[in-house]
A and B are shown apart, each in its own frame.
Chain A
Amino acid sequence: KAGVTQTPRYLIKTRGQQVTLSCSPISGHRSVSWYQQTPGQGLQFLFEYFSETQRNKGNFPGRFSGRQFSNSRSEMNVSTLELGDSALYLCASSLDTGTAGNTIYFGEGSWLTVV
């Protein structure tokens, strides 16, 4: 069974540009979440999507957005990149059973460097 797949794995962008990261969840998983990991702030929740709807959102500016498609695949977008956006972006999926506490599985992440 394939795990959570993220693309691209590594990318370098210039300040002011935008970036789109892609995530394919584990087959059958309908919930997809995104996290940002930086040395200074640690692992922080960005947002969660379920059945193409944003169900939960963390404390990030509007430059960070996401969406989910009917096949549960998800993308996140960061516009007007800043140096501080350099981070590891992790996608996670879960077999949402309608209750809390589902086991959440993570992908290998996308390493974004903003120069």
Chain B
Amino acid sequence: AQKVTQAQTEISVVEKEDVTLDCVYETRDTTYYLFWYKQPPSGELVFLIRRNSFDEQNEISGRYSWNFQKSTSSFNFTITASQVVDSAVYFCATSGLTGGGNKLTFGTGTQLKVEL
């Protein structure tokens, strides 16, 4: 079975601070996929990134960056120079062949509050 742990329940930062959201995953699949989603109060889960287990290259997209480390089963997400609009719940998720290709297993989410 797959499992995703997001130990940080809530994080509060002041605008322009950098913030890192932690994600630790467990899976028996040799090939698996990792995702991050953002959920604003409206409810929609907004897709942010998808990574394959065989591609450990870190990625930067604007103010967002992701650090994938297989050795520690972690897929952390950093927001640089945070803004109030970044306030949302962020979910890390994984999928793999044994769980069904399109079945996502989510963590419990991290509530990020960015204040002025």
Number of contacting residues on B, CB 8 A? 28
Supposing A42-B108, A42-B109, A108-B42 touch, asked if A103 and B100 sit within 8 A by C-beta, the answer is: no
Q: Which residues of B contact A (CB under 8 A)?
A: 31-33, 35, 37, 42-47, 50, 52, 91, 93, 95-97, 100-109
Q: A100-B95, A101-B52 in contact; A106/B102 too (CB < 8 A)?
A: no
Contact B103 A106 (CB under 8 A): no
Q: Is there contact, CB below 8 Å, between B43 and A48?
A: no
Partner of A48, one of B45, B52, B93, B102: B102
Q: How far is the CA of A68 from the CA of B45 in the complex (A)?
A: 22
Distance between Cα atoms of A10 and B46 in the complex (Å):
19
Instruction: Tell me which residues across on chain B come within 8 A of A108, comparing CB atoms.
Output: 42-44
Instruction: Jot down 27 A-B pairs with beta carbons below 8 A, ordered by A.
Output: A33-B102, A42-B106, A42-B107, A42-B109, A43-B91, A43-B93, A45-B103, A45-B104, A45-B105, A48-B102, A56-B102, A56-B103, A90-B43, A92-B45, A96-B102, A99-B101, A100-B95, A101-B52, A101-B101, A102-B102, A103-B35, A104-B35, A104-B95, A104-B104, A106-B47, A108-B42, A109-B43
